[in-house]
Amino acid sequence: MNKNDVLRRIRFIFDFNDSDMISIFKHAGHEVSREQVCNWLKKDNDPARKKCTDTELALFLNGLINHKRGKKEGAQPVPEQTLNNNAILKKLKIALNFQAEDMIRALTLAGLKISKHELSAFFRKFGHKHYRECKDQMLRNFLNGLQLEFRPETAEEPVAPWGNPPLP
């Protein structure tokens, strides 16, 4: 997933407005303008859209951790220069104070069954024999599950296979 998509999805899941987004960046010790935030959140086909870099998304996720859990004493984490899906998943887990069961619940809401052992492979160090790369589909399913958990009113109504709404 591209970084702009992740930023848009997180904003929608938690119903953040522009001021909230700016504030979250401030929690990470980084100043951004409303224009920058708006340009990152524009649709992919909009010519005014600006690409959100790995470092900018890392700053946002670090700020989200501070916003949700409180700022840790001492030096703040240095934002990563390159951010992969495993790191995004880990930062979201930390920000939400999720345990394995919480993550499995969110993935189940999105229609994906995964075991605790499969999930833990995403949080291992690269090079570990049980490390597993988090693919875009896994991150997308996790974000979908979060949306269903935190904003259930946005879930689509089930539709019968022939296209008509289900009978009451």
**What pLDDT, on the 0 to 100 scale, is given for residue 156?**
63
Q: In the predicted model, is pLDDT for residue 167 greater than 60?
A: no
Summarised one tens digit per residue, pLDDT across range 30-48 is: 999 999 999 999 998 999 9
Structure tokens at 163: 């296209």
Q: In the predicted model, is pLDDT for residue 147 greater than 70?
A: yes
| More confident position, 155 or 76 | 76
With 0-12 CB in 10 A as exposed, 13-18 as middle and 19+ as buried, what is 98? middle
With cut-offs at 50, 70 and 90, classify the pLDDT of residue 74.
Answer: confident
**What pLDDT, on the 0 to 100 scale, is given for residue 160?**
40
How far is the C-alpha of 121 from the C-alpha of 133, rounded, in Å?
Answer: 8
With cut-offs at 50, 70 and 90, classify the pLDDT of residue 7.
Answer: very high
Q: In the predicted model, is pLDDT for residue 168 greater than 50?
A: no
Q: In the predicted model, is pLDDT for residue 75 greater than 90?
A: no
The residues, ordered by sequence, that sit 6+ positions from 167 with a Cβ below 8 Å of its Cβ are: none
**What pLDDT, on the 0 to 100 scale, is given for residue 106?**
96
Lowest mean pLDDT among 117-126, 148-157, 159-168: 159-168
Percentage of the chain lying above the pLDDT 70 cut: 92
Q: What is the pTM of this model?
A: 0.86
Backbone angle region of 55, left / alpha / beta, with phi > 0 → left and psi within -120 to 50 → alpha: alpha
